[in-house]
Structure 1
Amino acid sequence: MPVTAPSQPATDAELIARWQSGDQRAASALVERHAPSVARFAASLGVREEIDELVQDTFVRAFQSLESFRADSQLRTWLFTICKRLLLDRKRAERRRRDVAEIDERDAATEYDALDVMVGDELAERLRDAMGGLTDLQREVFSLRVNEGMAYAEIASAVGSTEGACRVHYHNALKAIKERLRDA
Structure 2
Amino acid sequence: MTEALQNHDADDDVRLLERYRAGDERAATELVARHAPALARFAVSLGERDDVEELVQDTFVRAFGALESFRAESSLRTWLFTIERRLILDRRRSLARRHARFEGGEADAATEHTALDHVVAEETQQRLQRALDRLSPLQREVFVLRVAEGRSYKEIAEIAGTTEGAARVHYHNAMRAMKEFVDA
The bucket for the TM-score relative to the shorter chain is 0.7 to 0.9
Q: How does 1:1-40 map to 2 (within 5 A)?
A: 11-40=12-41
Residues 88 and 176 (structure 1), Cα distance of their counterparts in 2 relative to 1, 3 Å cut: same
Match of 2:164 in 1: 163
Gaps spanning 5+ residues in structure 1: where?
Answer: 1-7
Match of 1:77 in 2: 78
Shift of 1:164: 1.4
Partners of 1:39 and 1:129 in 2: CA distance = 20
Provide runs of 4+ in structure 1 moved above 6 Å.
Answer: none
Shift of 1:162: 1.3
List per-residue Cα deviations over 1:73-96 (Å, max 9, x = no partner): 000000001111111111111222
List per-residue Cα deviations over 1:36-93 (Å, max 9, x = no partner): 1111111111111111100000000000000001211000000001111111111111
Residues 179 and 116 (structure 1), Cα distance of their counterparts in 2 relative to 1, 3 Å cut: farther
Match of 2:92 in 1: 91
Partners of 1:133 and 1:34 in 2: CA distance = 28
List per-residue Cα deviations over 1:96-146 (Å, max 9, x = no partner): 22x257x6xxx88xx647x999x8111111122222221110010001111
Q: How does 1:26-175 map to 2 (within 5 A)?
A: 26-97=27-98, 99-100=99-100, 112=106, 120-175=121-176
The one-letter code of the counterpart of 1:138 is: Q
Is the Cα–Cα contact under 8 Å of residues 43 and 112 in structure 1 kept in the other structure? no
Residues 147 and 155 (structure 1), Cα distance of their counterparts in 2 relative to 1, 3 Å cut: same
Is the Cα–Cα contact under 8 Å of residues 15 and 26 in structure 1 kept in the other structure? yes
Is the Cα–Cα contact under 8 Å of residues 58 and 86 in structure 1 kept in the other structure? yes
Residues 116 and 131 (structure 1), Cα distance of their counterparts in 2 relative to 1, 3 Å cut: farther
Residues 67 and 112 (structure 1), Cα distance of their counterparts in 2 relative to 1, 3 Å cut: farther
Root-mean-square deviation (CA, aligned residues, Å) is 2.5
Residues 92 and 69 (structure 1), Cα distance of their counterparts in 2 relative to 1, 3 Å cut: same
TM-score, normalized by length of structure 1? Answer: 0.82
Residue-pair matches, total = 168
Residues 55 and 116 (structure 1), Cα distance of their counterparts in 2 relative to 1, 3 Å cut: farther
Residues 116 and 86 (structure 1), Cα distance of their counterparts in 2 relative to 1, 3 Å cut: farther
Match of 2:183 in 1: 182
Is the Cα–Cα contact under 8 Å of residues 144 and 150 in structure 1 kept in the other structure? yes
Gaps spanning 5+ residues in structure 2: where?
Answer: 1-7, 112-119
Is the Cα–Cα contact under 8 Å of residues 153 and 163 in structure 1 kept in the other structure? yes
